[in-house]
Amino acid sequence: MKPMNLKNAFFRTTLLVAVMAAVASLAATAHAAAPGISGGTGTPVFNLTAQPAYLNQPDGSSVYSWGYGCQRTWSPTFLPATIASPSSGCPLMQVPGPTMIVTEGDVVTVNLSNGLPTAAGNTSILFPGFTVQATGGVQGLLAQEAAPAGTVTYTFTASSPGTHSYYSGTQGDLQIEMGLYGAVLVLPKSNDHNIGSCTPLGQIPAHYAPEADFRLAPAAYNHAKACYDREYLFQFAEMDGNIHNKALQQVSDPVRVAACATGASTPGCSLEVPTEPYHPNFFMINGRSMPDDMDANYEVEYPHQPYNGNPHLHPGEQVLLRIIGQGRWQHPFHEHANHVRILGRDGNLILSQSNAGDLAGPALFTTTTTPGQTMDGIFYFTGRGLNWDMYGHNPKSSDTLATLPCDPDLNGYNTHTTALNYYEWCADHNKPLEANPLGDIAGGGPITLPNPNILTNGAWYGGTPYLGPDATTRSGGPGLDNMQPSNAQANPANERGWAYMWHSHNEREITTNNVFPGGMMMMLLVDSREFVIDESN
């Protein structure tokens, strides 16, 4: 896995503040996780429905869509246990559909009822990678289908851990486009390969307040090297608003409505929505476009888009990214600050054939999502390769935190878990950032920052290029002015982190209706260890 290089450091330094202006209005609690629902243990049962509703977009559009949701009389358990459940319960319709969380070996039952407009016809669900038995419904081309107002039941064994997708197997060019897709997360058995001993860094007793454990499992797969500290699920999809508008026009057409009132088989009770040519104008992560994807999970403004995309981490943490390509296009998504080391694809752990048991997944510069494909990967940030001290240590200062030592392990990192500068790259310890500073620390660093007095401030930017709520003070020594603007600005009050854009490398996909910024974009926030990342919403 490549360390962060100076290209990414320069990108952060020069572009951070402009981006922060775009996200200045974000809620302080806009964290992520991998929220979903449970249908029980051993033989989980999920009672889903397919229904229409409208999706809110940041340009003010309200887009008619179809999606899976929970049947009205069913109340699932929300996971992880440490995350707040929505006060309104599981939506009748959401995009993506409810994330179903099961355990390896579970015999899973999914009951689907068809609540789509009668003219939409049958609907179904495919579960790629699993052997599925279906009962009820009617036979379709790819799956057993639920007729209008009808039901169908699917049963399968969750045979392989990892991230999996599910989506409609009926007229996929229309129904998947309309929003009928979701995720199945299969957790490994906790007693395999001693993965139960994988303790997240935030749980290790330390000088700083321990964090709640928001993981769904100790590891992504039954492998000791698949442990992780926190996790996020990202489902990438696009929408052609013209297709959605055509569908709405046809299901609302009085002639069709009258025909369907006498029965689904009545001539004229059908849709003829063209899905080509295809010109998507909305690009979404977990059903939302930037900046909406950085609001909290289950936010009331998005009743049918409950999942967000706003990853946080501390240096050194192993972050599991669960990634799914939904829709019709490939999306070249780039996670700034490091490559993503792939663990597995489509629920298959990638192992070396020459060195049995070793992981062999590639390190990807962009996690290009192929439609229908899933991948699990590990991302981490250390600051290695910056060539300057990311904590702003200053040997001239008398402040205790400013003079924290860096004791390298065999790999060159400070791995004393109780230290504020845990996982600092010790080769850069005490190195100044700026070659020609404006009153912060002694010169000699690799770059010269713009005058901080003319930078535009925004959320999470505290006027300092260093980690920590007191980083501005820490970088100053006797007689030295602190870097301006004031360290008083941050969101929330004790958060002073770095923000990296994570975004599609297809320029059009970081727009909403061709207006930038929008679409497939979010911010990674790197926080110092004294900041407790609370993802409970």
In the predicted structure, residue 381 carries a pLDDT above the cut 70: yes
Q: Which of 28-42, 327-341, 354-368, 449-463 has the highest mean pLDDT?
A: 327-341
How many angstroms separate the first and last alpha carbons of the chain?
Answer: 32
Q: How far apart are CA 248 and CA 242, in angstroms?
A: 10
Q: How far apart are CA 422 and CA 528, in angstroms?
A: 9
In the predicted structure, residue 451 carries a pLDDT above the cut 80: no
Q: What pLDDT is recorded for position 469?
A: 77
Q: Whole-model pTM?
A: 0.91
Q: What percent of the chain has pLDDT over 90?
A: 64
Q: How far apart are CA 172 and CA 170, in angstroms?
A: 5
Q: How far apart are CA 392 and CA 403, in angstroms?
A: 9
Q: What pLDDT is recorded for position 502?
A: 96
Between these two residues, 455 and 422, which has the higher pLDDT value? 422
Between these two residues, 47 and 464, which has the higher pLDDT value? 47
Between these two residues, 341 and 392, which has the higher pLDDT value? 341
Structural domains in the chain, sorted by start: 36-189 (2.60.40.420)
In the predicted structure, residue 527 carries a pLDDT above the cut 70: yes
In the predicted structure, residue 500 carries a pLDDT above the cut 70: yes
Between these two residues, 207 and 170, which has the higher pLDDT value? 170
Q: Which of 49-53, 79-83, 429-433 has the highest mean pLDDT?
A: 49-53
Q: What percent of the chain has pLDDT over 70?
A: 84
In the predicted structure, residue 503 carries a pLDDT above the cut 90: yes
In the predicted structure, residue 324 carries a pLDDT above the cut 90: yes
In the predicted structure, residue 12 carries a pLDDT above the cut 80: no
What tokens were used for 49?
């429905």
Question: What CA dihedral angle connects 353, 354, 359 and 362, to 10 degrees?
Answer: -80
Q: What pLDDT is recorded for position 48?
A: 98
Q: Are 213 and 82 in contact (CB under 8 A)?
A: yes
442 band by pLDDT with thresholds 50, 70 and 90 = low
Would you list the DSSP string of 500-514? Answer: EEEEESSGGGGSBTT
Q: What pLDDT is recorded for position 471?
A: 76
Please give the mean pLDDT across all residues of the chain.
Answer: 86
Q: Are 187 and 104 in contact (CB under 8 A)?
A: yes
> Which has the closest alpha carbon to 331: 372, 291, 273, 379?
372
In the predicted structure, residue 16 carries a pLDDT above the cut 60: no
